Amino acid sequence: MERARRVLEMKGITKQYFGNTVLNDVSIDLCPGEIHALVGENGAGKSTLMNILFGMPVIHSTGGFSGEILIDGKKVELLSPAAAMQAGIGMVHQEFMLLPGFTITENIKLNRETTRKNALSRLLKSEFLDYLDVPAMRKDARTALDRLDLSIDEWLPVAGLPVGYMQFIEIAREVDKKEVKILVFDEPTAVLTETEADRLLGSLRRLAADGIAILFITHRLDEVMDVADRITVLRDGETVAMLNRDEAVVERIAELMVGRKVEKVELPPRDTDPSDKDIALTINDLLVDMPGEMVRGLSLSVRRGEILGIGGLAGHGKLGIANGITGLYSASGHVSKNGDNIPLNSPEQVLLKGLAFVSEDRRGVGLLLNEPIDRNIGVTAMQAQHKFLRPWPHFLPALRLENRGELRAYAEAMIRKLDIRCLGPNQPVRSLSGGNQQKVCVAKALALEPEILFVSEPTRGIDVGAKRLVLDLLVRLNREHNVTIIMTSSELGELRKICDRVAIVYRGRLAGILPPDASDAEFGLMMAGRVRKEAI
């Protein structure tokens, strides 16, 4: 490895989205033949940094960035993915960009086919009419696959291959590009099994030994320790550390990743603290088929009256739990409330059992955007529990008229209680701010008078002030109305702020439960899969 030469340097990169600084003076560099790991929590700015490097249109359509990119010491302007590819940057995507009906060879060589001239193409001087040189293409594909130590036949169609292989074909496509000197891997092991992941790491090392510089983005700290020569840690859009392998230990990286000062606020006390003697909800062996957030056999007990946090990195299934129990995604397993079995896959039954859910997808699941505030608040309670309806005709509840007066009065009370900033209960929710929309979602759940409330990502996409209000609201509900709250969030900080316990999910299972005042390193390790079971 030549340490002196830099194949890539990104210097002082700063990027703002609509006034929000997502990257602040980030610098990173790569030497030929080096594996450089980039780690950070969700939202730390990794993807934005890679989008900048790859010249994605989303960067330039939102006002570009400041800072400079140097390749082989020369300043370059990467205004499009095509320009980035020309500069020798290859990217292996998280989502598979493969054509399922095409063979492996065709996928690898797509739009870079080897061709032979024929009479017509010579006559018209158009390379679009050249013959494909299939044997040559297959040879190239074979070489690329061999470099990855993949023994699969190059003429097989991609459709039907195991997921793990698809990732390798993506890599083979990048490797086949002769000009590639920098390869970016964006969480390549997220969808792989452990053996597949090991193999991939082996390929990474081999490619690095060939002199390709590799930028490796991942959540999994074990892998980082395994292959990385250097490690850069991002947090909240800033570089917090750049470590050499010999000075890095997993605990230290975990701490750097998560570490932020948790402002400890005094939460109102309770008469009796929740305990394992009084369990409100038991989840046994829950499996949820939610794409990207699979839950694979999770068991958990929720104490009555507590605020239980569920944390974990994206893709590990924390969001699947609430979505599965409330019936929005197909689930199996056993869930019982007070010993009473809750049928899965039936939102209606779940609502009748006194469970309510504030979805993480506020605009997609949580609201009827074009409808007014009062209808948004009332419709679920009306449909599931026959509230806000006139009593007649009682024999045909489906044709009972909406009681607008009652609904409006309830909505007005909620607007006051939750301090929803609006022009009145008539205002369509589309025109409310994110924080106020979230409060409407909470009001909607409250209209159901739930015993147990699931709240997912309650502060996603809302500003700082509104975040605090929403969190305060949850605490108030918990203390004053004795609602048991299960809160899922990507922001560990807010979980640690208001929760009694924080459960960490890793790969669809419970990794452990930590008290909110556990150390940063403990949280970081658990989220990264270094399970250390601790009963608390």
Partner 1 sequence: MAHRLRQTVEHIGVPRLMIAGFLVIIFIIAYLTDMSVPQLITDSLVRVGMNGIIVLAMVPTISCGVGLNFGLPLGVLSGLVGALISMERGLTGFSGLFAAIAFAVPIAVVVGYLYALLLESVKGQEMMVGTYVGFSTVAVMCVFWLMAPFKNPELIWAIGGKGLRFTLTLGNHFGKVLNNFAVFRLFGVKISAGLLGFFLLFCLLIYLFYRTKLGIAMLAAGANPVFARSAGIEVRRMKAVGVVLSTVLAAIGIIVYAQSYGFLQLYMAPLMMAFPAVAAILIGGASLQRATILNVIIGTVLFQTLLTTALPVTSRVIQGDISEVARLIISNGMILYALTRSTGGK
Q: Which residue in this structure is represented by tokens 């299972």? A: 509
Question: Which span (92-100, 224-232, 264-272, 352-360) binds partner 1, by CB under 8 A?
Answer: 352-360
Phi/psi region, residue 312 (left: phi>0; alpha: psi -120 to 50; beta: rest), is left
What SS3 state is found at 28?
strand
Q: Which is nearer to partner 1, 138 or 387 (CB)?
A: 387
Which run of H or E residues covers position 509?
strand 509-514
293, 311, 281, 343: CA torsion to nearest 10: -10
Kindly tell me which of 142 and 362 has the beta carbon lying closer to partner 1: 362
Instruction: Restricting to residues 396-415, name those near partner 1 by CB under 8 A.
Output: 397-402, 404
Q: Is 436 in the site for partner 1 (CB under 8 A)?
A: no
Based on the shown chain and the rule CB under 8 A, indicate whether residue 379 belongs to the binding site for partner 1.
Answer: yes
Q: How far is the CB of 353 from partner 1 (least distance, A)?
A: 11
Where in 380-399 is the site for partner 1 (CB under 8 A)? 380, 382-384, 386, 389, 397-399
Smallest gap from Cβ 456 to partner 1, in A, equals 12
Give the shortest CB-511-to-partner 1 separation in angstroms: 28
User: Which CB sits closer to partner 1, 82 or 401?
Assistant: 401
- Nearest Cα to 234, choosing from 209, 261, 257, 200? 257
Query: In whole angstroms, how close is the CB of 346 to partner 1 at the nearest point?
Result: 8
Contact 322, 484 (CB under 8 A): no
Number of neighbouring beta carbons within 10 Å of residue 317: 29
Position 368 contacts partner 1 (CB under 8 A): yes
φ, ψ for residue 507, nearest 5 deg: 50, 45
Among residues 126 and 370, whose Cβ is nearest to partner 1? 370
| Residue 375 contacts partner 1 per CB under 8 A | yes
Q: Is 210 left (phi over 0), alpha (psi -120 to 50) or beta?
A: alpha
Write the DSSP string, 291-329: TTS-EEEEEEEEETT-EEEEE--TTSSHHHHHHHHTTSS
CB of 295 to partner 1, least distance (A): 18
Length of the chain: 536
Of 200-208, 311-319, 342-350, 469-477, which part binds partner 1 (CB under 8 A)? 342-350
Asked if 347 contacts 326 with a C-beta cutoff of 8 angstroms, the reply is yes
Q: Which of 370, 426, 431, 482 binds partner 1 (CB under 8 A)?
A: 370
What CA–CA distance (Å, rounded) separates 322 from 218? Answer: 26
Least distance (Å) from partner 1 to the CB of residue 467? 24
535 binds partner 1 (CB under 8 A): no
Helix ranges (H only) for 21-133 are 46-53, 57-60, 81-86, 104-109, 119-124
Cβ–Cβ < 8 Å for 302, 308: yes
Q: Shortest Cβ distance from residue 383 to partner 1 (Å)?
A: 5
> Binding residue for partner 1 (CB under 8 A) from 54, 165, 168, 357?
357
Which residues, including other chains, have CB under 8 Å from residue 472's CB and lie 6 or more apart?
Answer: none
Residue 45, CB half-sphere, CA atoms under 13 Å: how many? 26
Cis peptide before 393 (omega within 30 of 0): yes
Among 261, 364, 480, 536, binds partner 1 (CB under 8 A): 364
CB of 370 to partner 1, least distance (A): 6
| Residue 327 CB, nearest approach to partner 1 (Å) | 8
Task: Select 181 or 387, whichever has its Cβ closest to partner 1.
Answer: 387
DSSP 269: P
Q: Is 365 in the site for partner 1 (CB under 8 A)?
A: yes
By beta-carbon proximity to partner 1, the closer residue of 58 and 401 is 401
The answer to whether the beta carbons of residues 407 and 374 sit under 8 Å apart is: yes
Nearer to partner 1, 221 or 414 (CB): 414
Q: Which is nearer to partner 1, 166 or 429 (CB)?
A: 429
Q: Tell which one of 48, 105, 218, 326 touches partner 1 (CB under 8 A).
A: 326
Give the integer Cα–Cα distance in Å for 513 and 536.
7
CB 155 within 8 A of CB 102: no
Tell me if 247 sits within 8 A of 56, measured CB to CB.
Answer: no
Q: How many chain residues touch partner 1 (CB under 8 A)?
A: 36
Interface with partner 1, residue 51, by CB under 8 A:
no
Pair of tokens at residue 340: 């009473």
> Applying CB under 8 A, does 366 fall inside the site for partner 1?
yes
Q: Which of 179, 348, 449, 534 binds partner 1 (CB under 8 A)?
A: 348
Q: Is 145 or 448 the residue whose CB approaches partner 1 more closely?
A: 448
Site residues (vs partner 1, CB under 8 A):
326-328, 346-352, 357, 359, 361, 364-371, 375, 379-380, 382-384, 386, 389, 397-402, 404
